[in-house]
Amino acid sequence: MQDNRERQAAELTLLATMYPSEFSWRSNPPPDLETPAITTDPNFTLTVHPSYALEFSLSDTYPNTQKPHVYLSCGGDVDTSTRKRARAKLSEIAEEQEAGIEMLDLIVTLFTEYLPELTESNSDADQDGDKDDGQRQHTSQIKRVVIWSHHLLATSKRKDIQAWSKELSLSGYSRPGHPGSIFAEGDEDQIDEFIRRLKQLRWQALQVRGEETADKRICGPGDGILEVEGLGEIAEALKRIDADTADLFLQAMKIAKTD
């Protein structure tokens, strides 16, 4: 394991040097990469375009026997079909690499080379999409979910929830602690995207315990998820909005109903 950590440290030092303004930590950074002193799985983001960022997670077996996990985060200006095409391309690039080699910069380079093709097609799609934006806004379905986790304590996860919910125009509440809970509302495809991102993180246990669809929002325009201190705060906030949705939350979190 130490050999893996040393190889990780050397590669991350090089990557951070090559992309100083694009590189940012999502997990707590090691105190000194050059020593090295990596004791936990590194999590970092590398922004490759104003609308695209690569989110890497390295296990303790990378690079010797396992590839890095890499996820593509897209801006709100990227339509669904372009997002799917970009993620498929990134997955293809990662799959083509052979375990046992340092491949972080190679993945970044190959995906960056693909970006001109992607951004050009996205621009064409935007022009076509302007013609029927109004119709799509009316036909988009709203989805609400209750997500339970064994615990929600890590600062990095809590920051991701805040950042992703704003990026995806979601509303709702999150409660850190034992157990952790997230109630989220937004466009159906954005909720699904939010759940996909959450599941890429490391959890002892994470489950979607309740969901419903509706024609309109009830929790605001999508300014992000609000963090609160207790499950009761979420329940009371939902009761003031809609009794049925409050019941969905209470049942999903196995909380007894109160009048």
pLDDT band at residue 135 under the 50/70/90 scheme? very low
Predicted confidence (pLDDT) at residue 83 exceeds the cutoff of 90: no
Q: What integer pLDDT is reported at residue 129 of this predicted model?
A: 52
List, in sequence order, the alpha helices (H) in the chain.
2-18, 80-96, 104-129, 133-139, 155-167, 188-200, 231-241, 243-252
Query: Alpha carbon of 20 to those of 45, 46, 47, 48, 111: distances in Å?
Result: 12, 9, 10, 12, 18
Share of the chain above pLDDT 90, in %: 49
Q: How far, in whole angstroms, is CA 239 from its chain's centroid?
A: 28
- Dihedral sign of CA atoms 9, 15, 17, 22 in order: negative
Domains of the chain: 2-129 (3.10.110.10), 140-252 (3.30.70.100)
Task: Give the pLDDT band of residue 137 (cuts 50, 70, 90).
Answer: very low
Strand, coil or helix: 55:
strand
Structure tokens that stand for 65 in this block: 């026997």
pLDDT score, position 35? 44
Give the pLDDT confidence score for residue 59 in this predicted structure: 83
79 alpha-carbon distance from chain centroid = 16
User: Tens digit of pLDDT for each residue in 196-235?
Assistant: 999 888 888 999 999 999 989 999 888 899 999 999 999 9
Number of other CB atoms surrounding residue 57 within 10 Å = 18
Residue 136 reports pLDDT greater than 60? no
In sign, the C-alpha dihedral spanning 222, 223, 226, 232 is negative
∠ Cα 5 11 17 (to 5°) = 135
pLDDT of residue 228: 95
pLDDT at 18 over 60: yes
Residue 47's CB is within 10 A of a number of other CB atoms, namely: 15
Give the span between the Cα atoms of 122 and 133, in whole angstroms.
15
Helix axes 155-167, 188-200, angle to 10 degrees: 160
* pLDDT over 70, % of the chain: 84
Determine contact, residues 148/211, Cβ cutoff 8 Å. no
**Length, in residues, of the chain:** 259
